[in-house]
Amino acid sequence: MEEAELKFGEFELSIVRECTFKLDGGAMFGVVPKTLWSRQSAADELNRVLLACNLLLIETPNARVLVETGMGDRWSEKEKERYEVKTLIDHSNALKQLGLSNQEIDAVVISHLHFDHAGGATRLVDGQLVPTYPKAKYYVQRGEWELAHNANLRARASYRSDDFEPLMQHGCLELIDGDTEIVPGVWAKVTGGHTSHHQVVWFESQGKSGVYFADLMPTKCHVSPPWVMGYDHFPLESCDVKSQWLARATKERWLVVFDHEPAVPWGMVEVDSDGKFNFLPLPARTLSERYACL
């Protein structure tokens, strides 16, 4: 497992790489031609590109907030082969290398309920599905919950009820409506685009701000606003919302975090003289040692 730690104002930020997996490159880049996207993200013989599930732990002075839960470990051998899933943590002790137990998480924010974001929210114990982080409240947009239960044929395959139904049954699910402050300084903010109620996580401490883009911008290759996924329910909206968030992130020098970037998943964004956004990753050593964010 890889993990990273970052000093961020009064917060401590850590990344846990929960797994790597592969998805079809055409689906990941939508209408962008392969002749363009393949220069930045090489495809294998099945046209799949390598991705990761990067969980973000935000430790504030008063709470520990985990952003996303990853793919989880409840996959058949056939499914593992299809997505080439390589699980990198033991979900019964997911934060072990950070010196924490699952019981020490206070809140879990899930951007949306697709299986690569909510799959690690529950785990199987003695034949029963239970919350992976038993003392945490899980925060999901109410509109996303409703979509997961009423998805049409195109969207339905991305949702697995076993990922989220046990959260409701155990009384740890918090359905929120719109932008919500989870704990002081950590906000869930609705963007739409990928799904109708997709949310990102925005955080600030002592004048520093950052954003976990989730599937609004899954990798560094998606920094260009028109490069949106074929998986997006509302691709035109994704393009517009990305432009707005990137403009602010650039102007205010935010830390940006990508959920599916397989290389260094955090850094800054700048805009060049042609108006093109570029990602500037933090040093690679931030994936292995404590680092002070400037």
Rounded CA separation 159/112 (Å): 10
Edge to edge, what strands does the sheet with 208-212 contain? 180-183, 186-190, 199-205, 208-212, 255-257, 266-271, 277-281
Residue 169's contacts (CB-CB under 8 Å, 6 or more residues apart) are none
pLDDT of residue 283: 87
Query: Mind listing the domains of the chain with CATH numbers?
Result: 3-292 (3.60.15.10)
Structure tokens at 87: 């699980």
- 10-residue averages of pLDDT along the chain (294 residues): 72 96 98 96 97 97 97 96 97 94 98 98 96 98 97 93 97 98 98 98 97 98 97 98 97 97 96 94 74 40
Residue written as tokens 């800054």? 268
Q: Over the range 247-267, which residues count as b (16 or more CB within 10 Å of their CB) and which as e?
A: eebbeeebbbbbbbbbebbbb
Rounded CA separation 259/266 (Å): 9
Residue written as tokens 């879990």? 108
Residue written as tokens 């975090």? 257
Structure tokens at 162: 């076993």
Secondary structure (DSSP) of the chain: --EEEEEETTEEEEEEEEEEEEEEHHHHHTTS-HHHHTTTS-B-TTSEEEEEEEEEEEE-SS-EEEE---S-S---HHHHHHHT-EE-S-GGGTTGGGT--GGG--EEE-S--BHHHHGGGEEEETTEEEESSTTPEEEEEHHHHHHHHS--HHHHTTB-HHHHHHHHHTT-EEEE-SSEEEETTEEEEE--SSSTT-EEEEEEETTEEEEE-GGGS-SGGG-STT---TT-SSHHHHHHHHHHHHHHHHHTT-EEE-SS-SS--EEEEEE-TTS-EEEEEPPGGGGTSEEE--
Structure tokens at 172: 């740890």
What residues are paired with 129 via a beta bridge? 124
pLDDT of residue 293: 43
Distances (CA, A) of 260 to 24, 117, 156, 200, 217: 14, 10, 21, 14, 9
pTM: 0.95
Structure tokens at 124: 């199987």
